[in-house]
Chains A and B, each alone.
Chain A
Amino acid sequence: MAPELDPEPERARVLLVEDEVLIRTPVAHMLRGAGFVVIEASSADEAWSYLQAGAPVDLVFSDIQMPGSMDGAELARKVKESYNHIVVVLTSGKEGPPPGDNQHHFIRKPYRSANVVAMMMSLLGRE
């Protein structure tokens, strides 16, 4: 009898939140190239509406400074409150210490693609 093979794991779903389209587009392309399913949101409000629609997401990767009724830090807080199983990674190009209460993972802009992918794989247990 042929040995049973482990089924291929389902691709992880990353909700990418970035208001600057010229950053969002290449980052989304890079993440797709790394094997993720990427959902592109242009604001924290849009990302929140996507989550509230019940669509499955494994990781939220969000810029902090964004226009709209909430920024990335507020989105992260709400995600942790309502969807605790979702990993949140925040990013910012702003100088100074990472904002917030260290509840979320943080990577500073400009970041290297390989570092972002490695961090996500590790956080999702897919190394």
Chain B
Amino acid sequence: MKRTPCVLIVDADILVRHSLAEYLRECGYRVVQASNTDEARTLLTRRRGRPVIDVVLADVNAAGGENAFALATWIRANHRRVQVVLAGTVDAAAEKAGDLCEEGPTLSKPYDHQLLLDHIRRLLAARDRAECEGST
């Protein structure tokens, strides 16, 4: 049986975090939440029993010991299977985020829920396709 993909939401705003999480759960995803980048790193440093995270959806303004761009860089270097989506309101930040992540991974806030869902689906499908092609 295929594992339910897991999305990690990183956002300091509890209202944003909760509403996004509930929406993604309704769409069939498992969701874990971090209120800052430190918590995100802790959750990503997987040990036995913790969920395998497939997508990180982080606010560019997320608080923590490092900013969201540094977190994205660290994820790309250490967790190659994890797809990163950075979201924010600042155009320049979004552009910078685009350099760090997969093709077209940035979204603007407020989130369009359907757009977000399509985006996550596309990212996971592209990853699975790439892995499939790589194994043949």
Contacts and interface: CB of A to CB of B under 8 A. Distances in A.
Given A39-B14, A55-B18, 20 more contacts: A21-B34, A21-B39, A21-B42, A22-B42, A22-B43, A25-B33, A25-B50, A37-B22, A39-B18, A40-B14, A40-B17, A40-B18, A40-B21, A40-B33, A41-B14, A43-B35, A46-B14, A46-B35, A50-B14, A50-B18
A53 interface: yes
Contact of B32 (A25, A46, A55): A25
B92 interface: no
B116 to A, nearest CB: 19
Contacts of A47: 14
A21 B35 CA distance: 9
Interface residues of B, number: 17
Interface string B93-116: 000000000000000000000000
A33 to B, nearest CB: 11
Interface in A25-49: 25-26, 28, 37, 39-43, 46-47, 49
A25 B14 CA distance: 14
Contacts of B50: 22, 25
B97 to A, nearest CB: 23
B14 A49 contact: yes
A109 B111 CA distance: 38
Contacts of B34: 21
Interface residues on A, range: 10 to 19
Contacts of B42: 21-22
A53 B17 contact: no
A22 B44 CA distance: 11
Contacts of A55: 15, 18
A79 to B, nearest CB: 15
A46 B32 CA distance: 17
A40 B39 CA distance: 13
A41 B36 CA distance: 12
Contacts of A28: 33
Interface string B5-26: 0000000001101100110000
